[in-house]
Structure 1
Amino acid sequence: MEFSLLPKRILVVDDEEIIRDVIASKIQKSLAYDVVQASNGVTALRSIEEAAPDLIITDIKMPEMDGIELLGEIRKRHLNVPVIILTGYGTLEDAMSAIRLGAKSFIKKPFDINQIISLIENIFAVHQEIADAQEIVPFIRSQSFTIRIPNNYIYLSKAINYAFTTVRACWEMEADQLNDIKVALYEALLNSFEHGNLRVDKESKEKYLLLGHSVYRKYLIERMATEENRGKSITVFVSIDPIRVEISVLDDGPGFDHSSVNENLDPESFMKLYGRGLFLIKNLMDEVSFNDRGNSVRFLKYRPRGVDWNEPYDHAGEEPIVFHP
């Protein structure tokens, strides 16, 4: 594997200069990365054309070209660069558009600058893991596999990266075309880890997150270490064929009443860091179901039309894959 000795390059896009300066200063001080600033999407695109950044942090509401339009232009150019969205008053439609276009995360204003630094570090760590996994892809011979991981958050991204790179290799598609699958898998695994196995309720998560991410992380570690939770695991079943991918995520928890999952979510609730996982899965996947106990979610995504297909594939009336985790 090749390692670059050059520092990472971050592009910060916001029409408020003070916000750009605060973010840029903290990144340079904490991470020693190069930071370039732009006041709107138009100037950001010019900067991208001069030298592609390793990561983009952009506001949504800006003059001339907003953050959603900028994200769309980035994807049109097939630039696989991670994007973090900043927003003070974005709509649910904006949020869903950004996710479909491949946004990695949302930060709501006013924000904790340390949260942005942690998020940048996590994104680059995940990208390195993806690069590691891609070296193994040519040696994969099976399109169906099972991953069973200990109930520890350090394994979540590893399982996601392996499953995602395998689907991408089998379908031979660009990463941004499969972002829906990655988001759904992330939300399903996080749900199994926090709510399924550790039985963290919404009120506790909200309380500890308000005290800070480090406080919430400490709380999770304490829950993981209890005798009740120490031996639990999460199992991921993946089945891929040329037409569709089916994924089931099973935890060792008692399950929940999935009939209460919200079909709709207001923008304020969506922008929170909790409570939107199952809503996203149901809206991003083609089929979603749960087992009777409520400790397993199964979702299915049909392959987007490929360049070699003369006609789009019509799956209407077909029997779904029978999959028994």
Structure 2
Amino acid sequence: MAELLVLIDHSEGKPRKVSLQMLNAATQVAESAGDTVAAVWLGEGGADAAATLGAHGAAKLYTWDSADAHGYVTLPQVEALQQVLETSGAEVLFFSSSNHVKDVAARLAIRVDGGVITDATNVEVEGGKISATKEVFGGDLITRCTFADGKKQLVGVASNAFPVVETGGGAPEVVSVDVSLSEAAQASKVTSVEKQGGGDRPDIGEAAIVVSGGRGLGNEEGFQLIEQLADVLGAGVGASRAATDAGWYPHRFQIGQTGRTVSPTLYIGSGISGAIQHRAGMQTAQNIVAINKDAEAPIFQIADFGVVGDLYDVIPKLIEELEARKS
């Protein structure tokens, strides 16, 4: 029985939501192939999260409990994963499709003679190999991808592509990994970490609710209103490319084809026209609410609920009503 590895993305000692989603996806694949799921935790605190990972499908947990995992840039994680792949004999690794982990996966693939598929929204086993579904060209096409024979299979799973499901499993077997880093892996050291503004809100890639603003806000101050609405809802804040290019909001919050991809339960877009580049990053949201004074704005074509009106009239009233219901 082979192992299917899942690289756990974590923060402050807790697995991120996308990691629990990946464990669900991996469990489905493993059951159909007769394999077992093994989580991989790089960095400190893995053993403390074992019960949570086991409850979501991990039968084994490989953990490298060392600050070196994130004390240097990229290569320590590559070398640790290479070691786990080689010692476990695993042919498949699931990872989250974030920019940093994509970099790790690409470097790892070169070392282990593997292939990489990113942003998968569905995974299946066909002919003993992983087959993954992903959207391309801004969501205009849906493709089915697989791997060449004999290649390690590295699959990047899109955030919110799968639900979080507790399997009821017990605590996984914990296997400690000892990694001896090469000189190259220690060449670039992380000297400090600074928490950026907005860090107290949910990350837009994992948030159940995302509130976004666009060109229609008119200026940077307009995002204060967006943030007020987000804070009432416990939501993450996003922005269109037009808004970030104008300098009204940081680029790391940009949603769209050249920014972040989100798939929340509820997406509220205010002052966003809904050009295809933006829609590519949010059109898989379960419920889309659009607020725009232009009744012909393209975003209304995909919106579940649309409000034609001035956002500076609509949003304050919405905030007032939400606060009243919470009190």
TM-score normalised according to structure 2 size: 0.27
Q: Greater Rg, structure 1 or structure 2?
A: 2
Identify, as 1 or 2, the structure richer in strand.
Answer: 2
Identify, as 1 or 2, the structure richer in helix.
Answer: 1
